[in-house]
């Protein structure tokens, strides 16, 4: 009599364990797999670093001599981690520097964002541009990256800017194109379409 009871007990225990395991697999409250949890948390620093590596074409010191005697200079540090930083200076023919700009490009969870600070030559903030300009990456193709305002231009502090584009034309030529918004009423003389501003800068070695 004892052996049949023992076999029945073992069979019942095995069935209980099997049912418990099946329930755990179907339980929505069970802990997520590491891969799913990582995906929900967003891109890793490795992913963000790889994204920023696409902007390496901008790295370097760049300058342009303008017809009126002014000189513009832009210096981009190499991408590192999830960001890179650039500086801009314009010096007039008489040696006066009217303004500087400090620009950051950063890969974040849901976008690549460009932030820019604009200050006067004496390093005081421009009263009309005290807030950061914020633009997001619209597209990057090869050695060309285009940014557009994250919000309507005025809310993004992008003035009347529709987009900016950095393009490496050749190893020693970086072109910055600033495109204004289309006018609300092109028929009005005061609202004729403005031409894009194009800065063709050469590498300083």
Residues 64, 15 share a domain? no
> How many Cβ atoms from other residues are within 10 Å of residue 160's Cβ?
11
Residues 87, 53 share a domain? yes
The number of folded domains in the chain is 2
pTM score, whole prediction: 0.76
Percent of the chain with pLDDT over 70: 75
Residues 86, 11 share a domain? no
Residues 184, 85 share a domain? yes
Where in the sequence is the domain holding 22, given as residue range(s)? 2-30
155 in any annotated domain: yes
- Per the CB < 8 A criterion, the answer to whether 167 and 195 are in contact is no
Distance CA 142, CA 175 (A): 14
pLDDT band at 142 (very low <50, low <70, confident <90, very high): very high
117-132 tens-digit pLDDT: 999 999 998 888 888 9
Sign of CA dihedral 82, 57, 86, 127: negative
Residues 180, 95 share a domain? yes
pLDDT recorded at residue 141: 96
Nearest to 196 by CA among 146, 132, 143, 155: 146
CATH number of domain containing 149:
2.40.128.20
Interacting residues of 1 by C-beta distance below 8 A, sequence separation 6+: none
pLDDT recorded at residue 15: 36
Residue 144: strand pairing partners = 141, 167
- Per the CB < 8 A criterion, the answer to whether 104 and 126 are in contact is no
Residues 152, 106 share a domain? yes
99 vs 12, 50, 57, 72, 200, CA distance in Å?
A: 82, 33, 25, 11, 19
pLDDT recorded at residue 35: 57
103 in any annotated domain: yes
Residues 175, 95 share a domain? yes
Task: Tell me, rounded to whole angstroms, the distance of Cα 66 from its chain centroid.
Answer: 29
40 in any annotated domain: no
65-119 tens-digit pLDDT: 999 999 999 999 999 999 999 999 999 999 999 999 999 999 999 999 999 999 9
What integer is the mean pLDDT of 9-29?
Answer: 44
Q: Which residue has the higher pLDDT, 11 or 85?
A: 85
Residues 53, 24 share a domain? no
Distance CA 118, CA 14 (A): 72
- Per the CB < 8 A criterion, the answer to whether 118 and 81 are in contact is no
Residues 100, 63 share a domain? yes
Distance CA 162, CA 115 (A): 15
Residue 47: what are its φ and ψ, rounded to 5°?
-65, -45
Residues 23, 107 share a domain? no
59 in any annotated domain: yes
Residues 145, 92 share a domain? yes
Residues 97, 15 share a domain? no
């Amino acid at each position: 009599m004892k052996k049949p009871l023992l076999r029945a007990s073992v069979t019942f225990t095995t069935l209980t364990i099997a049912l418990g395991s099946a329930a755990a697999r179907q339980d929505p409250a069970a802990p997520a797999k590491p891969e799913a949890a990582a995906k929900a948390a967003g891109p890793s620093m490795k992913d963000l670093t790889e994204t920023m590596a696409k902007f390496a074409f901008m790295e370097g010191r760049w300058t342009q001599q303008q017809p009126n005697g002014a000189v513009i200079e832009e210096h981009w540090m190499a991408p590192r981690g999830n960001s890179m930083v650039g500086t801009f200076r314009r010096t007039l023919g008489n040696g006066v520097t009217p303004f500087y700009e400090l620009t950051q490009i950063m890969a974040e969870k849901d976008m690549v964002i460009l932030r820019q600070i604009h200050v006067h030559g004496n390093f005081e903030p421009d009263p009309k541009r005290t807030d950061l300009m914020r633009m997001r990456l619209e597209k990057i193709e090869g050695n060309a990256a285009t940014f557009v305002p994250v919000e309507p231009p005025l809310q993004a502090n992008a003035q009347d800017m529709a987009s900016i584009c950095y393009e490496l034309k050749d190893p020693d030529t970086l072109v910055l194109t600033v495109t204004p918004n289309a006018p609300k009423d092109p028929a009005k003389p005061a609202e004729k379409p403005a031409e894009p501003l194009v800065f063709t800068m050469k590498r300083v070695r």
